[in-house]
Amino acid sequence: MHIDSTITSARRARGSAISRRAEILSAAKRLFLAEGYERATIRKISAAVGVSSAALYLYFPDKDAILRGIAEETFSALLAKLEVARHGPGDALARMRASMHAYIAFGCAHPDEYRLTFLSKMMSVSSPGRFSEACGDIEAADRSFGLLVQDSRVLIEAGVFGPIDPVEAAEALWACTHGATAMLIDHAEHLTTDSGRLAHRVVDMTLRGLCAAQNDH
């Protein structure tokens, strides 16, 4: 069977571009974590990859775009985990519990990506707002939070959660899971409780609080 050499070359070029893009994100990730966002220059990133700065600009127009690329990949991977959890066995509350545990487990399994995507301390104080500018409006992030709102609404309408705004419920859920994740990633050495048990306790207390909101009105 004859294979068009033009098609084969195009496929190789696409594969090479994807591979190079991954190499750039990986090198940038290491430098952002080791040196801080401001000190990790395009020149340093390109040197770590083994390409010229001009070649790197073919893939990313600037350093903010690289940070955004890291965030996009992180949110896409997180979204996939949440989708699996929310379609698992049990009732709506059990699936919400599973989603929260999936979030915490994902962050603990990918601490570097989580730090760069969620923890603003990685950003220099000399550039306030840079993080939100670089990583805002990411589709997978919006979809992840949208699922949390949607699942909260189901629990509210079923009378499991109190009659509160679903966005407020989703933000409370996110705040608690994010707090637990950040604690386990960066301050585990100060904890005496087993990480799995602590995650279980935080999730349980959060859900109980939202269920108890029935009594707040």
Is the separation of the CB atoms in 169 and 161 below 8 Å? Answer: yes
pLDDT at site 10: 39
Res 212: pLDDT: 78
pLDDT band at 16 (very low <50, low <70, confident <90, very high): confident
Residues 82 and 167 in one domain: yes
For position 136, what pLDDT does the model report?
Answer: 57
Ramachandran assignment for 41, one of left (phi > 0), alpha (psi -120 to 50 degrees), beta (any other): beta
**In the structure, what pLDDT confidence band is assigned to residue 17 with cuts at 50, 70 and 90?**
confident
Judge if 29 and 121 occupy the same domain. no
pLDDT number for residue 134: 47
Q: Are residues 50 and 104 in the same domain?
A: no
pLDDT in tens, 21-58: 999 999 999 999 999 888 999 999 999 999 999 999 99
172/85 same-domain check: yes
Residues 59, 17: contact at Cβ < 8 Å? yes
d(CA 185, CA 179): 10
Domain final position from 23, 38, 61 = 61
Q: What are the distances in angstroms from CA 78 to CA 26, 133, 191?
A: 18, 21, 25
Q: Please, are residues 113 and 140 in contact by the beta-carbon 8 Å criterion?
A: no
Domain end position, chosen among 40, 61, 82: 61
**At which of 61, 77, 102 does a domain end?**
61
DSSP state at residue 188: G
- CB-based burial of residue 153 (10 Å sphere; 0-12 exposed, 13-18 middle, 19+ buried)? middle
Express each pLDDT in 112-159 by its tens digit.
Answer: 999 998 864 444 433 444 444 445 578 999 999 999 999 999 999 999
Do 194 and 143 share a domain, yes or no? yes
Which CATH number characterizes residue 18's domain? 1.10.10.60
The pLDDT tens digits for 57-92 are 999 999 989 999 999 999 999 999 999 999 999 999
Same domain, 97 and 31: no
Q: Which pLDDT score, from 0 to 100, does residue 73 have?
A: 93
Residue 202 neighbours by CB distance under 10 Å: 20
Q: What is the pLDDT of residue 215?
A: 55
Using alpha carbons only, what angle is made at residue 85 by residues 99 and 103, rounded to the nearest 5 degrees? 40
Q: Are 113 and 207 part of one and the same domain?
A: yes
Tell me the CATH number at 177: 1.10.357.10
Q: Are residues 67 and 157 in the same domain?
A: yes
Question: Does residue 89 sit in the same domain as residue 155?
Answer: yes
pTM summary value: 0.82
Range of the domain at 49: 1-61
User: What mean pLDDT comes out for the span 185-211?
Assistant: 93
The number of domains in the chain is 2
